[in-house]
Chain A
Amino acid sequence: MPTRVKAADTTEAAVGSVMGHRSLALLRIAVGFLWIQNADWKIPPSFDALLHFTRYAVEYPVFPPYAWLVQHLVLPNFAFFGWGVLLLEAALGGFLLVGLGTRFWALLGIAQTVAISLSVLNAPNEWHWSYFLMLLAHIVILGTAAGRYAGIDGVLRASWRASSSRIAKIMAWAS
């Protein structure tokens, strides 16, 4: 019965699509909460806890050039670095949660995950798969443009694409 088989395939594809889209939205929202929750312990002005973990890059080096960079550039200017991390991670959490400019923020999330991994991967009591999974989650969000599912990108992308303004074109690219 080709017709029945075709109908079943179509239904399965539709259900798979809905489930897939919801799963991607759930992943994006969960990663947003990950950054929001973890931005909270970067407390200015001393950033004590962040300083503790950043020193791991030098004490338990993963990639010697990165360890050198942390030792000679980041640690001597830690207040500036701390504020940069706070602002970046706060923005990552907020924007991934609502799904605005998602591909752009996923790219920054990948970069920040790599930086964190290079700091703590060899430190004692760290589970390396935490960082591998974090990296993979951002790659999936980037590759699937997950903000288009239950996110602001999905609501506004068509308008951005139809607009000739520069900001709209940037937002269409970022979404």
Chain B
Amino acid sequence: MINIGSRQRAAIVLGATAILCTGFVLFGGPFKLVPLNWGAMALVNLLLGAFAVIAGSSRRRGLIVLAGALFLVGVGVALALLIVGTGGFLRVSVAGVSLWSGLGAGLVALGVTPDRPVPAAAEPAGPE
């Protein structure tokens, strides 16, 4: 049986991934694996990552889904700003959109997928 612990751990790892990826604002050149810009997008990434860690640490799936949904809302807002033609107030980077799409979908999947049903205990053999 897959227990809720593995999902919580996965949600915490996804949140931590967001937080760690914010650190790429400090890098330049080929090691800037996630080309986030200094600005609101990096700050939102940090805050949503922290929220995902808190959601994973709690025993509430609803919070994990909410964290994922917020990342996906961020994807929508960022794409809208890209369509308008500017980075906008978020200082949008396409790499940030990419990161948020994976984190958001992953957190939502962790939150909404039902637990595997526990197989019923074998019935004791009845009289022949």
Select the residue from B10, B94, B102, B113 with max chain A CB neighbours within 10 A.
Answer: B102
Decide: A95 and B105 in contact? CB cutoff 8 A. Answer: yes
- Stretch among B29-37, B39-47, B120-128 lining the A interface: B29-37
Decide: B10 and A94 in contact? CB cutoff 8 A. Answer: no
Q: Interface residue tally of chain B, by bracket?
A: 20 to 34
Please give me the residue from chain A that is nearest to B13 by CB atom: A150
Q: Is B58 an interface residue (CB 8 A)?
A: no
Decide: A36 and B113 in contact? CB cutoff 8 A. Answer: no
- Bound Cα distance A168, B112 (Å): 11
* Known A36-B34, A37-B32; contact A91-B7, beta-carbon cutoff 8 A: no
Can you list, as one digit per residue, whether each of B98-121 has a CB less than 8 Å from chain A (1) or not (0)? 111111011001100111110000
- Bound Cα distance A39, B14 (Å): 20
Please give me the residue from chain B that is nearest to A94 by CB atom: B102
Decide: B2 and A98 in contact? CB cutoff 8 A. Answer: no
Counted as pairs of residues, one from A and one from B, with CB atoms less than 8 Å apart, the total is 100
Decide: A94 and B99 in contact? CB cutoff 8 A. Answer: yes
Can you list, as one digit per residue, whether each of A19-37 has a CB less than 8 Å from chain B (1) or not (0)? 0000000000000110111
Q: Is A109 an interface residue (CB 8 A)?
A: no
Contact with A35, one of B32, B98, B106 (Cβ below 8 angstroms): B98
* Known A37-B33, A40-B94, A43-B94; contact A155-B99, beta-carbon cutoff 8 A: no
* Known A44-B85, A98-B103; contact A33-B109, beta-carbon cutoff 8 A: no
Decide: B101 and A94 in contact? CB cutoff 8 A. Answer: yes
Decide: B101 and A95 in contact? CB cutoff 8 A. Answer: yes
Taking CB atoms, residues of chain A closer than 8 Å to B109 are 100, 152, 156, 171
Q: Is B16 an interface residue (CB 8 A)?
A: no
- Bound Cα distance A92, B101 (Å): 9
Contact with A100, one of B35, B105, B116 (Cβ below 8 angstroms): B105
Decide: A37 and B114 in contact? CB cutoff 8 A. Answer: no
* Known A90-B94, A94-B102, A159-B113; contact A152-B10, beta-carbon cutoff 8 A: yes
Decide: A155 and B94 in contact? CB cutoff 8 A. Answer: no
Q: How many residues of A contact B (CB 8 A)?
A: 35
Can you list, as one digit per residue, whether each of A84-98 has a CB less than 8 Å from chain B (1) or not (0)? 001001111111111
Q: Is B97 an interface residue (CB 8 A)?
A: yes
Q: Is A1 an interface residue (CB 8 A)?
A: no
Decide: B106 and A152 in contact? CB cutoff 8 A. Answer: yes
Decide: B33 and A33 in contact? CB cutoff 8 A. Answer: yes
Decide: B98 and A94 in contact? CB cutoff 8 A. Answer: yes
- Interface of B with A (CB < 8 Å)? 2, 6-7, 10, 14, 17, 32-35, 82-83, 85, 93-95, 97-103, 105-106, 109-110, 113-117
- Interface of A with B (CB < 8 Å)? 32-33, 35-37, 39-45, 86, 89-100, 152, 155-156, 158-160, 162-163, 168, 171
